[in-house]
Chains A and B, each alone.
Chain A
Amino acid sequence: MDAFFSSLVSIAFHGLAYGMILYAISVGLSITMGLMGFVNLAHGVFAMAGGYVMYTLMGDLGMAWLPALALACVAVAAGSIVLERLLYSRLYTAGELEQVLFTIGLIFVAVAVARIFYGNNPLAAPLPDLLKGQTELAGRSFPTYRVMVILASAALIVVLWLGLERTRWGAMVRAAVDNRAMAQSVGIDTGKLFTLTFALGSGLAALGGALGADLMAMTPTYPFEQLVYFLIVVSLGGLGTLRGPFLGALLIGIGDTACKYWVPEFGAFFIYAATMLVLLWRPQGLLGRAA
């Protein structure tokens, strides 16, 4: 019985850490998809870029852990603005197929570039001493790093929630998600709003990618391998809100950890099957509104 309880605690803890990483990466995707209806399959590219940029900053430039993390997020966000203005913005009115193809093309390019610069082996930025080792909590020990991931993500959620619910920018985003044409006609510059939101989402993806490098290894094929999970989180929760991807990320994080713990011989089968059932029941996602 005690062994069972201890496995439950373990699954909850590691599932929560995994879910938090998934949330940081996916929340931007959910908001931008809700805003523009753009099918951005290349979102994982920004997460991968975050991980690799941080690795370079720490390894080659000798920066400390926290500044490197912050700079990686800012750099990826800035890069995403360039991509958004130059390329993405031309395809907002294009069909779904064009958007899918364009973003798959971006994935191919990113995979190739990553392979050229970083090779095929998984890389991870080294952890500062403070985050290594175990932390004692209620008589059990947990990896300090993952405790930090959970705490940092909880803080992130509070900040995001305040930002979206309490600021002018948040009000504009919510208005544009509800009805873009109406938001535009009352004077909201939705183009600019979208660029900013896109950059924020990409920066958060970079944060998730860099923080999650021990859970989801940084290899060049990262954007392909993890894409299914990001899309599941987004579509399971529902588009355009903060709560949607949070619920999706928690379900997938804990569900996937539980499946790997209890029924490893089935792989991710139950995750996919559950996703199918939910989407057939509610195509707009658990917390999404009916179209």
Chain B
Amino acid sequence: MIAKGAAADIGYASSARLKPVELLPWVVALAVYFLAPTYLPLGAYILIICLFVLSLDLILGYGGIVTLGHSAYFGFGAYVAGVFAMRVSGDPLIGLAVAAAGAGLLGLATGAVILRTHGLALLMLTLAITSIVLEVANKWTSVTGGADGLHSVPIEPVLGLFRFDMFGKTAFLYCLVVVIACWWLVRTIVHSPFGVALAGTRENDVRMAAIGAPVYRRRLTAYTISCALAGVAGGLLTQTTQFVGLSVLGFELSGEVMVMLVLGGVRRIYGAFVGPLVYITAEDWLAKQFPEYWYLGIGLLLVVIVMFARGGILGILDKLVARVRGGRA
């Protein structure tokens, strides 16, 4: 029993069959669409950040690559989508594909060098990458708009049919469909033999290498996929807000995204949905009234999670469910 629990924690013994509860996020999203239309722009933003956090979970949770620089790929995707729409074509799907390809290539190129290192050097290199991308975006004003960013990015209707309306209906559904597709991709990867091998490289890379698994290549593949997904999230943000600015880059955003992941629960896929939902909703309500206390609360929460509740919200729920079931038996 303990062994099974531990295996599930590592991520390779959980069944690949879709459980009904796994559809809950999408039911909630549709409920928001029909019941709370005024929250659609916020909802679309939450969906986008969910995808960003999910991409981080793939490398941090499953791959064990501790990075402070994931915002580099999110921001790069956002800028690629913005520049592409301004200069080449406003078609959203092509723009998204270009953003994914751009962020994925950047991930491949940077990952190929930084994944050769470990520990502090790796942490430092990820930090350097996001700082460099931020510096370039800040200074290369002719392309990125510098500190002003890119305004009024032109976006054509999706598939030539669905215009982005001022209430954010199209934007919300567009994000929802893209995020569902990416969720399915991550879910498939995690349950695949590749996902198991990735978990192995996290648990014990020396032993994985000893049994003949190409540790470096596995990690690089996961890193590239994760960066491409982060790029998609960034592209979605540019397209739905028609704006991209420096706030999509930098170490603080990376930190915040990591907080959301840990808040929801690392290595659970759905922690990536719970975390941003709770974090951004709370931020929307609290941060405007008490900005100082908001950061104080988030900081204290983070310390408490690390000290007492490493599984995050979903980990606490799991324990409660286990206790209720144990009480019945």
A residues adjacent to B (C-beta < 8 A): 33, 37, 39, 87, 90-91, 94, 96-98, 100-102, 104-113, 115-116, 224, 227-228, 231-232, 234-235, 239, 265-269, 272-273, 275-276, 279-280, 283-285
Contacts and interface: CB of A to CB of B under 8 A. Distances in A.
Given A102-B302, A106-B299, A112-B295, A269 B120 contact: no
A161 to B, nearest CB: 24
A95 to B, nearest CB: 8
Nearest to B60: A97
Given A96-B119, A107-B299, A267-B138, A224 B252 contact: yes
A106 B131 contact: no
Contacts of B259: 101, 104-105
B314 to A, nearest CB: 16
A268 B127 CA distance: 13
Contacts of A116: 292-293, 296
A273 B133 CA distance: 11
Query: Main SS of the interface on chain A?
Result: helix
Given A107-B255, A109-B300, A115-B295, 9 more contacts: A39-B123, A100-B68, A101-B259, A102-B302, A105-B302, A231-B120, A272-B132, A276-B132, A279-B128
A108 B295 contact: yes
Interface in B116-139: 116-121, 123-125, 127-129, 131-132, 135-136, 138-139
Contact of B139 (A227, A267, A272): A267
Contact of A275 (B128, B294, B305): B128
B117 A279 contact: yes
Nearest to A265: B139
Max count, chain B CB within 10 A of own CB: residue among A33, A112, A234, A239: A112
B307 interface: yes
12 contacts: A33-B120, A96-B119, A98-B310, A105-B259, A105-B298, A113-B296, A116-B292, A228-B128, A268-B135, A273-B132, A275-B124, A285-B121
Interface string B304-328: 0111001000000000000000000
B303 interface: yes
Contacts of B128: 228, 232, 272-273, 275-276, 279
Max count, chain B CB within 10 A of own CB: residue among A104, A234, A273: A104
Contacts of B292: 112, 115-116
A279 B121 contact: yes
B215 interface: no
Interface string B234-271: 00000000000000000110010011001000100000
B206 to A, nearest CB: 13
B301 A105 contact: yes
A246 B161 CA distance: 62
A112 B293 contact: yes
Contact of B296 (A37, A112, A275, A276): A112
B299 A108 contact: yes
Contact of B121 (A228, A235, A265): A235
B299 A97 contact: no
A279 B114 CA distance: 9
A101 B306 CA distance: 7
Interface of B: 60, 64, 66, 68, 113-114, 116-121, 123-125, 127-129, 131-132, 135-136, 138-139, 251-252, 255, 258-259, 262, 266, 292-296, 298-303, 305-307, 310
A111 B125 contact: no
Contact of A231 (B127, B252, B258, B294): B127
B135 A266 contact: yes
Contacts of A39: 120, 123
B223 to A, nearest CB: 16
A108 B300 CA distance: 8
Nearest to A99: B306
Contacts of A37: 119
Contacts of B293: 112, 116
Given A87-B307, A91-B306, A279-B125, A227 B251 contact: yes
Contact of A232 (B119, B124, B252, B258): B124
Contacts of B119: 37, 96
B153 to A, nearest CB: 25
A222 to B, nearest CB: 13
A234 to B, nearest CB: 8
A228 B129 CA distance: 11
Given A100-B66, A100-B68, A267-B139, A239 B303 contact: no
A105 B123 contact: no
Nearest to A107: B299
B125 A276 contact: yes
A108 B302 contact: yes
Given A105-B299, A108-B295, A108-B298, A231 B124 contact: yes
B62 to A, nearest CB: 12
A116 B301 CA distance: 18
A228 to B, nearest CB: 6
Contacts of A269: 132, 135-136, 139
Contacts of B127: 228, 231
